[in-house]
Amino acid sequence: MKLWHKVYLITLAVSLILTNVGIFLVFHTTYQQNLEQEKTRAEAHSLLIYTSINNNMVYYEQRGVLDQPFVRIIGRNHGVYYNNQGVKIQIWQGEDCIYSTDAKIKWEDLQYDEAARTTTLFDKDGEKYVFVTQRFDTKEEYVFCYQQPLTELQQSWDRLVVIYISMSVVISLLLAIFLGVLLQRLMKPIAVLTDAVIEMQQGNYESRVALKGNDDIARLAANFNAMAETICENVKEIRQENEAKQRFVDNFSHELKSPLTSIYGFAEYLQKSNASKDEQVECLGYIMEESERLKKMSYVLLEMEKLHTDGNNIEMEECDCNSIRETVQQEIRMDLERTGVELEWQMSSRKVCGNRMLLEVLLTNLVRNALRACADGGTVRISMEENSIRVQDNGCGMAPENVKRATEPFYRVDKARSRKDGGTGLGLALCRQIAEVHGGRLLITSRVGEGTTVTFSKELGKDNKLYKEDSV
Answer for the pair 89, 49: CB distance below 8 angstroms, yes or no. yes
C-beta of 256: minimal distance to other proteins in Å?
9
Closer residue to other proteins in complex, CB, 289/408? 289
C-beta of 306: minimal distance to other proteins in Å?
28
Q: 118-124 and 142-149 as β-strands: parallel, antiparallel, unpaired?
A: unpaired
C-beta of 343: minimal distance to other proteins in Å?
29
C-beta of 461: minimal distance to other proteins in Å?
36
Closer residue to other proteins in complex, CB, 239/415? 415
How many residues belong to the chain? Answer: 472
Beta bridge partners of 146: 89, 132
Closer residue to other proteins in complex, CB, 75/395? 395
Closer residue to other proteins in complex, CB, 85/271? 271
Using CB under 8 A as the binding rule, the residues of this chain from 65 to 84 that contact other proteins are none
Closer residue to other proteins in complex, CB, 2/417? 417
Alpha helices in 311-342 (DSSP H): 321-331, 333-339
Q: Does 63 bind other proteins (CB under 8 A)?
A: no
Closer residue to other proteins in complex, CB, 157/266? 266
Closer residue to other proteins in complex, CB, 188/254? 254
> Binding mask 241-280 vs other proteins (x if CB under 8 A, - otherwise)?
------------xx--xx-xxx-xxx-xx-xxxx----x-
Closer residue to other proteins in complex, CB, 297/358? 297
What Cα–Cα distance (Å) separates residue 433 from each residue in 2, 68, 307, 396, 440? Answer: 56, 135, 7, 25, 9
Listed residue (222, 256, 198) closest to 426, CA to CA: 256
- Residue 340: CB atoms within 10 Å: 12
Closer residue to other proteins in complex, CB, 379/418? 418
C-beta of 289: minimal distance to other proteins in Å?
7
SS (H, E, C) 6-34: HHHHHHHHHHHHHHHHHHHHHHHHHHHHH
User: Could you give the CA distance from residue 361 to residue 332 in angstroms, rounded to a whole number?
Assistant: 11
Q: Does 115 bind other proteins (CB under 8 A)?
A: no
> Binding mask 333-362 vs other proteins (x if CB under 8 A, - otherwise)?
------------------------------
- Residue 200: CB atoms within 10 Å: 18
Measured in degrees and rounded to the nearest 5, phi and psi for residue 128 equal -100, 145
User: Could you give the CA distance from residue 452 to residue 471 in angstroms, rounded to a whole number?
Assistant: 8
C-beta of 409: minimal distance to other proteins in Å?
16
Q: Is 276 exposed, middle or buried (0-12, 13-18, 19+ CB in 10 A)?
A: exposed
The conformation of residue 464, written as its DSSP 8-state character, comes to S
Q: What angle do CA 286, 288, 293 make, to 5 degrees?
A: 95
Q: Does 289 bind other proteins (CB under 8 A)?
A: yes
Q: Does 415 bind other proteins (CB under 8 A)?
A: yes
Closer residue to other proteins in complex, CB, 390/419? 419
C-beta of 335: minimal distance to other proteins in Å?
19
User: Could you give the CA distance from residue 208 to residue 228 in angstroms, rounded to a whole number?
Assistant: 7
User: Could you give the CA distance from residue 140 to residue 143 in angstroms, rounded to a whole number?
Assistant: 10
Measured in degrees and rounded to the nearest 5, phi and psi for residue 425 equal 80, 5
C-beta of 271: minimal distance to other proteins in Å?
7
Closer residue to other proteins in complex, CB, 215/282? 282
C-beta of 273: minimal distance to other proteins in Å?
5
> Binding mask 416-445 vs other proteins (x if CB under 8 A, - otherwise)?
x--xx-------------------------
Closer residue to other proteins in complex, CB, 384/426? 426
C-beta of 186: minimal distance to other proteins in Å?
54
Number of residues that bind other proteins (CB under 8 A): 26
- With CB under 8 A as the contact rule, the residue among 229, 342, 414, 450 that binds other proteins is 414
Q: Does 313 bind other proteins (CB under 8 A)?
A: no
What Cα–Cα distance (Å) separates residue 332 from each residue in 326, 336, 357, 406, 442? Answer: 10, 6, 15, 21, 21
With left for phi above 0 and alpha for psi between -120 and 50, is residue 92 left, alpha or beta? beta
Listed residue (267, 383, 395, 246) closest to 325, CA to CA: 383
C-beta of 411: minimal distance to other proteins in Å?
12
Positions touching other proteins (CB under 8 A) are: 253-254, 257-258, 260-262, 264-266, 268-269, 271-274, 279, 283, 286, 289-290, 414-416, 419-420
